[in-house]
Structure 1
Amino acid sequence: MDETHATAPTGEDLPAGRLGIDILGPVTGRRGARRLDLGEPRQQAVLCVLAINAGQVVTKDRLIDGVWGESPPKTAGQSVYTYVSGLRRALDPGRDPRGPSEVLVSVSGGYSLRLAPERVDALLFERRLDQAGKAHAEKAYETSMRLLDGAAELWRGTCLSGVPGPFAEFERHRLGGLRLTALELHADLLLLLGRPQEAAARLVLLTSEHPLRERLRELYMIALYRCDRRAEALRVYRETRRLLMEESGAQPHESLRRCHELILRADPLLGPPSAPLPSPGPSPDPEPDARERRFPDSRRRTAVRTKVARQLPRDPVDFVGRAEELARLEALLSPRDGTPPHHVVAITGAPGSGKSTLAVRAAHLVRDRFPGGQLYVNLRGATPGMRRLRPIEVLGRFLRDLGTPPHAVPADVDEAAALWRGELDGREILVVLDDAADLAQIRPLLSVPMGNAILTTSRESFTLLDDCARVPISGMRRAESSAMLTKLIGAERAAEDPRATTRLIDLCGDLPLAVGIAGARLANRPRWNVADLVSRLEDERGRLRELSAGDLAVRSSLAVSYEMLAGSDHHLDRTAARALRALGVLRTADVTAHLVGALLDVPVETAEHAMERLVDAHLSEMDKPGRYRLHDLVRLFAKERVTHEETEGERDAALDRALSLYLRTTLLAVKLCGYPRTVPTDLELGAGLLPLGSGRQARDWLDREQANLVSAASQAMGAPGERIARLGAALAFALFWHLQHAGLPARLQSLNRRALSVGRRLNDHRIEANAHNHLGSALNMVGRLEEAQNHIRRQLVLSRRLSDLHGEQKALGSLATNYLELGRYEKALRCGEAQRKVTMQAGHVSGEHFALTMIGSAYHGMRRTGQALAVLEEALSRCRRDGNRYQETSVHEKLGRLHLDRGDPESARSSFEDGLGCARAVKLKVAEPYLLLGLARSSRLLGETDRAAAYLELSLSTARAVGNPVVERLTEEEATILTASATPVTACRARP
């Protein structure tokens, strides 16, 4: 960015110093006069998301969405990490390679580009355009012109040129629209400054580039008229009308038609102005004759329309947050290009999400756009204990407010609606219909003449309402919730215990109603600390009770929506209410229609329709197609309802069906993935089963459902009933190989400690033995070897007592692994040989593969290199013969280590590369850090230090992702060796 771009000194105070990012053209970066290499297009796409949000936190998920959209590759998270590392090197090349970046910093959940907004040309452009608009409004036309000229200089071509991804596409469209707005404002200024010839010369090009942009056409007509080219101005109107009819079948908007009429009459209003030209928006308090000229077709009504309603509730001046939603509402209700407002705008959202407050705030922001007045009514669609208003009641109230005598208000809805439309004609009125129960309650009021607007709020989605602009809202952003709470209780009190304040917002689920109630309770109890309220809310059983203040309560707000469904005459509504209750049975992050069908014991199609109805009622959310989730407080409400309305037997039966579906599908998925043999179950399971047809589908399903499966298993193992607890333990055991291969030892430990408790409670030694084995494996993964050995030895004893050959060979294999890590190679060899003997007796092929790998690794540790090589090559041959790619991955890694010790880095690299290919093919995430570390060592020994540094970076990031402190330590040791043998610039790449 040129140094002239920066108009304020704030950027010099940031670590970025003289760094600048230009995106109004090809994406470029500069530090002073030096141009920066910003890398490949997707890396530039990541930078653009960060730059547009300079100084703010951008989550990794938001970066992934911005670059890849709704279907990112599975490597997207790792790619973002790589791109961020590349950007750090590009933007801050002189930083300490072992210190954190001060330009592109890592924060909780994402990244932040520490760059002042004026150092990003797009943000500087927006600021100058905003300043120019304010100067224009204040009649400082020369100042406005200078600011617009400065803004125009920042453009160098198509913005974000060559940058891929939905974020870049959206910004190209948005910034392109702002550029057009700037050009329109510039042309308007030329006319205001008495330079119509210059305006016409500019506008002839702009209208040819944007032939359907009516505001440009209107300005061009005025400029031609001022240049005494009246016939050409009229020809422009005819051409515009023809184009609009051909393209969209629509007539020109009222503003352009009005301009055409004024030109036809040679109206003095279009002469050289001494004040701003009449625009599509209202001028302040126009004189009656001027008003008639602006609305010539409404003159006959002007004399009788003397009453102007100003009914909006008080402006919530302490309103915080919802900046994006407010901007969209302003754009819909008061378009910057002067076009008429959108005639129906609906704010939809969950109970307690702040719809009404947002609507009132937005209405006050645009009230000057509606000189005819503002009407307001609370329809009481979801007010506890109060009857909702009927359409005829609302129409009658509004007609009287507009001056219709009470005796002249029709009793028939259709007649009243017709009179309503007639009364609004030519008025420019904003009508706020707050808290609509459903579409039927407001439909008669919606067909309003152009220039008027309806703003409504509802818990329903209004998806079936034609030409309705919907502004859906959900929970507030974290910063908005924090600001709201701080306003209510004071900054000093909020800052006394930041951890408690953060936890309070978490417990409120960023729901405005809940945050407001919590703030009100604290404000009314000055002796309470924030932590006092937090301790009350931590108990789920009383959280909804605590979230009440006066006549405000989260529970009653949710109850209205629920009862409208439960008491409905429509079967689908009642099924949706049942579905909401059923979701209180199972504690998972989200659900699919298959799972809801199992909970309700209904077909999948019925369950899907019920969940879609909950989404429309804003009692459920759908982040991705087919996946539904409840807000935390809605979940607690659902749990209360199912407890109060259904018996314990009914709840257990629903949970049993859901767990059976999960367990049967998990067992099928594990089989399709080709994982080693899982612990068998003798439990009778229900008929539910998801249709998985391939290993890829199975792995994808396990990845998607992993968190839910772990949560369901944990919940079940904590249940008092024996069958539910056994289902939970069986599900935990079925997940073992998937979690181990994904490198998730913490989840393995948590699940199997619960399973061990179940086994002891039920006096089931088989459950105990398997839990001990899985715990030992998980502890081995994180280097807690002595603790792991205790569990494995206990499993070995139990397996032999049960005559369980499969369990015995697993225990021996786990002990062999443990002894290898401890460096006790003779014991590892004995365990490996014993395991092989048992596996051959039991006919367990994959167990024999594992035993051979352990034997070969033990020989390696004992420096019996020839024997080690022979056994490992035999293990590799058998794995390939039997299609065991999981164990083949391990054999390649062991062979790679052996080749390194034999002084053959070339063969080692080949083994590690083959192993990495296997690991990635079968998604054996736990093996990747070891293989990447081996590739780093091989590359270093071959003199390829840059490649070694890149492998180390990947090894360390992958080890951290799977929670493997052993490989983290080994990788850092290898980085030290590499640093000592490489140049400083190359060595620094070993750090992530």
Structure 2
Amino acid sequence: MLGALAVCDADGGAVPLRRRKHRQLLATLLLDANTPVSADRLLDALWDGSPPPSAEQNLKTYVHTVRKLLSPGGPRSAPIRTHGTGYLIAVPPGELDLLVFQDLVRQGRRSAREGDAEAACRRFEQALGLWRGEPLQDSGGSRFLDDAADRLAGERVSVLEELAELRIRLGRYAEAVSDLRPAVTAHPLREGLWRQLMLALHRSGDRAGALAAYRRLREVLVAETGLEPGRAVQDLHRRILTSGAGPGPAPEAPAPPPGRGARPAGARTGVPRQLPRDLAGFVGRSEELVRLRSLLAPWDGGPPHHVVAITGPPGSGKSALAVRAAHAVGDGFPDGQLYADLHGATPGIRRLEPLEVLGRFLRDLGVPAQAVPDDVDEAAALWRSRLAGRRVLVVLDDAADLAQIRPLLSVPAGNAILATSRENFALVDDCVRVRIGEMRATEAAAMFAKVAGAERAAEDVRATGRLIELCGGLPLAVGIAGARLANRPRWAVADLVERLEDERRRLHELETGDLAVRSSLAVSYDLLAGSAHPLDRTAARTLRMLGVLQVADVTAHVVGALLDEPADTAERALERLVDAHLVECDEPGRYRMHDLVRLFAREQAALQDREAGTAALNRALRTYIATAHLAVRLGGHPRLVRSRVDPGANPVPLASEHEADRWLEREWRNLMAAASQAMERSAEQDRETVRLGAHLVFAFFWYTLYNGLRARTLMISRAALRAGQRLGDPLVEALGHNHLADAYTTNYRYAEAAAHHERQLALYRGLGDPWGEQRALGGLAHAYGELRRYEEAIRCAESQLAICRAIGHRTGECFSLLTLGEALHRTGRSDQALPTLGRALAESRSIGHLRYETCVLEKLGDLHLDLGDPLTARRHYEESLSLSRAAKMTIAAPYLLLGLARAHRLLGDLDQAERYAARALEAVRAVEDTVLEERVLRERSAILAARRGTGSPPGSATGLATGSAAGAAMGPAGSAAGPTVRGAAAP
């Protein structure tokens, strides 16, 4: 947008926008990217406040066209979305030059406020480098867009003025002049630009050029406006006239802050300069450095903040950052820089006591050794007295906790304490904490290249990126990895990556000399484990127990199960780990570990008693199972799962359907991970763990099934069946066959589904379990129907119906009537199918089973479509679609939308048919169902053929007269919506 409007595709090719209205529409949306734009504003931009009667329809057409131009991949990739009565264009970061420009300007202004003029210059230069010409030059034509273009052009000039001001302040006069000359030509009435040009010319030694610039400004102003230049320009002109031939003074430059750069009169000599050498290879942390400099040496000359703490996890580079920042602001502390390594987290070295540190510093400040008090409070009082009237920077590196440094913190104004610690120092009054964690990928890569060698890092960029990931962006780990490669010149980066990929040895690989990630983490862990405070010891046990459960994140309730403690105790322990920077809390109530901390925790878990670890894992699994059952029941399908959780299990206290949905949405990946971990255990040693893992799969299976997670459902169901077979447990094995068969059905693999249902049936009959037997029969009835083995399907459905009536299982009755009705429909016995499905509908409503009611209505729609009654079919499909939303059956939506498209096509409403087909295509691509996608595309072809008056193309999904013909027309799956029956699954 910063020039002629230009759109590029992913490969850099130009996307043509030939019509002016299309460009105006896109420009208006992009001016408020990622924000809804009302239709009224769009109409105003396109027709300058005087839209024609057809404007609203024209707008919709323009939106449709621009959408297609911007999203050749189809509606799913379209960045323009309908939002209320208007539209919104979604633009990811970095893809719109206007947003990048504005972001860079914000960064530059922030840097300027914080006093980092160099960084501000870089940001402003990058921002101005994005401009290619006048904004919206080919998209204007309305007052709205022309005003927007003027605003953008004005912002560009403002940034140019700010950049020039900074360059002059930094003494970069030639650069300022080179940009200001064309700027004053383009904006001859902008006095601020002329004033900066005059100042830059004069400072660079070109006094004549500065005076000539003033004459040119005066000529232009008098000619154009009849006015003389303003007072600021005239004052500068007088100063230049009276300054002589050399560079003039800098009237705009602020005086240096008091106490900086020059030592006050009477300052004592031999002041302490104890900072360690600044690391030459220091990389990154630019934002943190800017903040530290602004706190310790405010750019307005004010006093420094008296206590600043750099906190972060082990190995994050706190000490190196502190030394770099201290050197950067050293000139602001002319009375000395004191430094002490407190050894708060140094393996094998006793940490310093407060009195030791006070005594050392007092001696460094000139107090005779014999005069140093041996009482902490007295020494602290003398410390404050010695610092009064001075400007001293005190660096307290690697503090174990607040108690170690508290006596040193109360310093007189003008002095500053810079501390580093793994603790968070939240209780220090008026302490500013600068937290650091993982490095940005680019910073970590630069650090690695400095240590291992730039050429080596560049040889395999992909391997280098993966190494950074495996190190978790932790500076200590990245530095160790680079040092290991530097010492092994024949190794490629990929060689070390291969070794790091093995989680069992990753911490071992991240060791070199006396540096090791493991020992760095161990210090923090040991400090907690050996603490006199009970909460610290509980936190250490919590970290160890977190290594037992291999999930992405946890809640206090699950950790309470691991610990066999109440959830509030677990939460306090987790928060203590957050304070110690061993656990991260990105959002309230959810906790996760850095990858390397997770591996350390797993090592600690392996060192404890195996039975204790297994018992903890089993408690967490039972909590997951109990909560999943509760969530599934609250979610509206309480009859689908028979709970086999041990009595007394402790579920998360979910109280509503919303809470249940939220919990499942947040936890299903963790449930899969925990189940997989449990089922991988030894069936001989850990039978109960393996069994619980399989039952956890059965507990959350319905959530993944109904949400269209086909591949994941298939994978975890296979694992559950294998677990049952390894256990030799016929019940778990039967359930495994059942769930795997349902998973195969969602993937249209009906022959494999039937085989597993047959094995399931045999196992349940062997167990003498009529409930399980009817369930297997229901699954077989559906699978046989999809395989066109209709008579077998009818027999199975009738057998299921008889068993369900005998045991009083009404949900099973409903399902058997549903599959029986569908099979009768497929065999052409519509006169029997219609009342059978009618009984199924009544039964589903009687028991309040929304999912079965959804499926029955869908099947009634299919039947009426084949009976030549698309009007009734449409009514059933519409009701089914509405119910599917209430029942949260994401998997059903594309089938029902396809049914509605067919019904509307047969009713002759082709516009509505096309809309439903488009929605069906979007829904089916969202669940990645390629089989159904092909059917939807065939239906769209049928709609197109109907528009042309040529009838339906061969193989299209049309309504047919008989059930037997319907199966042939729709391919192996039968009717258009058949697979949603398996979404209901045999109960």
TM-score of the superposed pair, with normalisation by structure 1: 0.71
Match of 2:581 among 618, 641, 648: 618
The match for 1:713 is 675
The match for 1:765 is 730
One-letter code aligned to 1:481: A
Q: Deviations over 1:542-598 (max 9, x none)?
A: 222222111111111111111111111111111111111111222222222222222
Higher deviation after alignment, 789-798 or 275-284: 275-284
The match for 1:313 is 276
TM-score of the superposed pair, with normalisation by structure 2: 0.72
SS in 1 for 2:598: helix
One-letter code aligned to 1:701: W
Once residues 776 and 871 of structure 1 are traced to their aligned partners in structure 2, the CA distance between those partners, rounded to angstroms, is 25
Change (3 A) 1:692 1:827: same
2:384 is aligned with 1:421? yes
SS in 2 for 1:454: strand
One-letter code aligned to 1:788: A
The match for 1:818 is 783
C-alpha displacement of 1:521 = 1.4
2:633 is aligned with 1:671? yes
- 1:128-139 maps to which residues of 2 (within 5 A)? none
Change (3 A) 1:137 1:602: closer
Contact 2:854 / 2:881 at 8 angstroms: preserved in 1? yes
One-letter code aligned to 1:654: A
One-letter code aligned to 1:775: L
Q: Deviations over 1:869-907 (max 9, x none)?
A: 443333222212211012122223333444444555554
C-alpha displacement of 1:752 = 2.7
C-alpha displacement of 1:771 = 0.6
Q: Which has the larger radius of gyration?
A: 2
Once residues 90 and 359 of structure 1 are traced to their aligned partners in structure 2, the CA distance between those partners, rounded to angstroms, is 56
The match for 1:36 is 27
Q: Deviations over 1:714-767 (max 9, x none)?
A: 222222222222222222222232332232233333333222223222322222
Higher deviation after alignment, 811-820 or 93-102: 93-102
C-alpha displacement of 1:387 = 1.4
Change (3 A) 1:924 1:11: closer
2:761 is aligned with 1:785? no
Once residues 565 and 797 of structure 1 are traced to their aligned partners in structure 2, the CA distance between those partners, rounded to angstroms, is 56
C-alpha displacement of 1:13 = 12
SS in 1 for 2:435: strand
Q: Deviations over 1:414-448 (max 9, x none)?
A: 34333433444454444332211111112222223
One-letter code aligned to 1:120: F
SS in 1 for 2:35: helix
Once residues 387 and 522 of structure 2 are traced to their aligned partners in structure 1, the CA distance between those partners, rounded to angstroms, is 37
SS in 2 for 1:376: strand
- 1:178-257 maps to which residues of 2 (within 5 A)? none
Q: How much identity, in percent, do the aligned residues show? A: 54
- 1:287-366 maps to which residues of 2 (within 5 A)? 302-335=265-298, 339-366=302-329
Once residues 113 and 582 of structure 2 are traced to their aligned partners in structure 1, the CA distance between those partners, rounded to angstroms, is 44
Change (3 A) 1:764 1:534: same
Match of 1:701 among 636, 639, 663: 663
The match for 1:390 is 353
One-letter code aligned to 1:511: L
One-letter code aligned to 2:850: R
Q: Deviations over 1:614-645 (max 9, x none)?
A: 1111111222222222222222222222322x
- 1:334-483 maps to which residues of 2 (within 5 A)? 334-335=297-298, 339-370=302-333, 372-483=335-446
The match for 2:496 is 533
The match for 1:755 is 720
Once residues 820 and 87 of structure 1 are traced to their aligned partners in structure 2, the CA distance between those partners, rounded to angstroms, is 47
Aligned residues: 812
Match of 1:562 among 525, 528, 542: 525
Once residues 450 and 302 of structure 2 are traced to their aligned partners in structure 1, the CA distance between those partners, rounded to angstroms, is 37
2:444 is aligned with 1:484? no
One-letter code aligned to 1:812: L
Once residues 185 and 86 of structure 1 are traced to their aligned partners in structure 2, the CA distance between those partners, rounded to angstroms, is 48
The match for 1:114 is 95
> 5+ unaligned residues in a row in structure 1: which ranges?
20-28, 48-84, 155-174, 194-271, 292-301, 984-992
Change (3 A) 1:730 1:907: same
C-alpha displacement of 1:185 = 7.7
Contact 1:347 / 1:458 at 8 angstroms: preserved in 2? yes
Change (3 A) 1:779 1:442: same
Change (3 A) 1:804 1:551: same
SS in 1 for 2:632: helix
Contact 2:396 / 2:418 at 8 angstroms: preserved in 1? yes
The match for 2:761 is 796
Contact 1:102 / 1:114 at 8 angstroms: preserved in 2? no
The match for 2:957 is none
Change (3 A) 1:97 1:858: same
Contact 2:114 / 2:291 at 8 angstroms: preserved in 1? no
One-letter code aligned to 1:711: A
Contact 1:280 / 1:339 at 8 angstroms: preserved in 2? no
C-alpha displacement of 1:935 = 4.4
> 5+ unaligned residues in a row in structure 2: which ranges?
39-59, 81-89, 136-154, 174-247, 949-987
Contact 2:71 / 2:78 at 8 angstroms: preserved in 1? no
Match of 2:72 among 85, 91, 97: 97
Q: Deviations over 1:367-403 (max 9, x none)?
A: 4555555433322110111111222333333344445
2:636 is aligned with 1:651? no
The match for 1:78 is none
Q: Deviations over 1:185-208 (max 9, x none)?
A: 89x99xxx9xxxxxxxxxxxxxxx
The match for 2:797 is 832
Once residues 115 and 429 of structure 2 are traced to their aligned partners in structure 1, the CA distance between those partners, rounded to angstroms, is 35
Once residues 896 and 624 of structure 2 are traced to their aligned partners in structure 1, the CA distance between those partners, rounded to angstroms, is 33
Contact 1:36 / 1:90 at 8 angstroms: preserved in 2? no
Match of 1:722 among 675, 684, 687: 687
Change (3 A) 1:583 1:121: closer
Contact 1:742 / 1:924 at 8 angstroms: preserved in 2? yes
Match of 1:584 among 540, 543, 547: 547
One-letter code aligned to 2:96: L
Change (3 A) 1:324 1:781: farther
SS in 2 for 1:606: helix
- 1:898-977 maps to which residues of 2 (within 5 A)? 898-902=863-867, 907-937=872-902, 955-956=920-921, 958-974=923-939
Higher deviation after alignment, 971-980 or 607-616: 971-980
C-alpha displacement of 1:99 = 7.9
Once residues 939 and 308 of structure 2 are traced to their aligned partners in structure 1, the CA distance between those partners, rounded to angstroms, is 61
One-letter code aligned to 1:531: A
Contact 1:345 / 1:470 at 8 angstroms: preserved in 2? yes
Q: Deviations over 1:931-957 (max 9, x none)?
A: 344445556667777766665565455
Change (3 A) 1:630 1:400: same
The match for 2:856 is 891
C-alpha displacement of 1:89 = 7.5
SS in 1 for 2:504: helix
The match for 1:169 is none
The match for 2:700 is 735
Higher deviation after alignment, 779-788 or 500-509: 500-509
- 1:152-191 maps to which residues of 2 (within 5 A)? none
Once residues 436 and 305 of structure 1 are traced to their aligned partners in structure 2, the CA distance between those partners, rounded to angstroms, is 30
The match for 2:821 is 856
Contact 1:476 / 1:512 at 8 angstroms: preserved in 2? yes
Higher deviation after alignment, 763-772 or 806-815: 806-815
Contact 1:796 / 1:812 at 8 angstroms: preserved in 2? yes
Contact 1:836 / 1:847 at 8 angstroms: preserved in 2? yes
Q: Deviations over 1:806-852 (max 9, x none)?
A: 22222222223323444444444443333323322332222222222
Change (3 A) 1:87 1:400: farther
